[in-house]
Amino acid sequence: MKFYMPTKLRSGPDCVARHAEELASLGSDALIVTGRHSARLNHALNDVTDALKKHGKRYTVFDRIEENPSVETVMTARAAGLEAGADFVIGIGGGSPMDAAKAIAVMLKNPEQDWQYLYQSVSAESCPVAAVPTTCGTGSEVTGVAVLTRHDLQTKVSMTHKVFPVLALSDGKYLQYAPQSVIRSTAVDALAHLTESYINTNADELSRMTASNGLSIWAACRQALLHPETLTAEAAQALMDTATLAGISIAQTGTSIPHALSYILTYRGGIPHGAAAGVFLANYIRYADHDMQKAVLSSAGFRDADELQLFLQNLAPVQSDPALLNAAAESVLRNPAKLRLCPYPVDAALMQEIIRI
Ligand SMILES: [Fe+2]
């Protein structure tokens, strides 16, 4: 067995304020990276800046991280950080700001390098990163992965380097401000992480322990997902914790075919990340061996793959044209590293079954 999760995780109400000193101890000048609106709306940005001010730390806010951040945005944020003299990075938001924060931290530490450095197979240092998640899907607060948009390749590609946040502060109250569509799509992303980690050639007893626990908590949140307008503080924290367990799981195993298929649907079709991965989940499970299917579906509270498919079609519907689906299938079939993570052989014929949505 193997298990690696170097992030110090703090979860629960007011955890940013309660752990302000730990956050402030990461450096003297923070570059806070986030999107334009949500971190202000849900008060996470205010909580973070209050924590830094309380401990006499300087900060600069870069609030131009777009959804599915590009390497160009990473470089613009790096320039802002260098100008301000930033020595640590705090990502606030969903996966986009947290992933961007990791890439920015690499580039900040290596100011002489250009963006191609993110994809070079070298050992790279980075500035310390803290993550404050505000959605319930990515798990980026506990993984080393940063997925960035590569306009030159017309898809999303993970940077080569692994940068685990030093500190993750996860407070469910931020999720209560998120739009219902975001709560649903990101919760489906978490379900995809849990499933793809469980049904994975890299899975072992420890990764399956975190994935199984995450699936059980996810199952308990199903009613809240169907009616997010009634989301309680407890359910919001449970959804955030599920996403974190899912992140810990994929940090051990990686994701598998549904995620690999999703990237082109998101880049070319504009389909939200979670929904784009979730649409292939039921079919991915359907071709796994019986015990794995049973373990995942029963933990997540589903009778069979058909019931899961119906639930996801209702929760995060996806419409995609056949040409896009075929392009996604072809790109994954050309990716032996990704195919190896699936525990059953996938040829062109079976891939056609998996993309039958
Ligand atoms: Fe994901």
**Average pLDDT of 136-151?**
95
pTM of the predicted protein model: 0.94
Characterize the bridge pairing of strands 147-150 and 155-158: antiparallel
pLDDT at residue 156 in the model: 87
Phi, psi angles (nearest 5°) of residue 127: -70, 160
C-alpha of residue 112 to centroid of ligand 1, in Å? 31
List, for residues 214-259, the tens digit of each pLDDT value.
Answer: 999 999 999 999 988 889 999 999 999 999 999 999 999 999 999 9
Please name the residues in contact with 140: beta carbons below 8 A apart, sequence gap of 6 or more.
91, 95, 98, 99, 102, 131, 133, 146, 247
C-alpha of residue 7 to centroid of ligand 1, in Å? 19
List, for residues 73-106, the tens digit of each pLDDT value.
Answer: 999 999 999 999 999 999 999 999 999 999 999 9
C-alpha of residue 185 to centroid of ligand 1, in Å? 10
C-alpha of residue 5 to centroid of ligand 1, in Å? 18
List, for residues 321-331, the tens digit of each pLDDT value.
Answer: 899 999 999 99
Give residue 153's identity as a one-letter amino acid code.
Answer: L
Domains annotated for the chain, with CATH where assigned, are 8-173 (3.40.50.1970), 180-354 (1.20.1090.10)
C-alpha of residue 259 to centroid of ligand 1, in Å? 6
Higher-scoring residue by pLDDT: 267, 165: 165
Indicate the pLDDT class of residue 119, thresholds 50, 70 and 90. very high
pLDDT at residue 18 in the model: 98
CA-CA-CA-CA dihedral for 265, 181, 10, 209, to nearest 10: -60
C-alpha of residue 340 to centroid of ligand 1, in Å? 18
C-alpha of residue 272 to centroid of ligand 1, in Å? 10
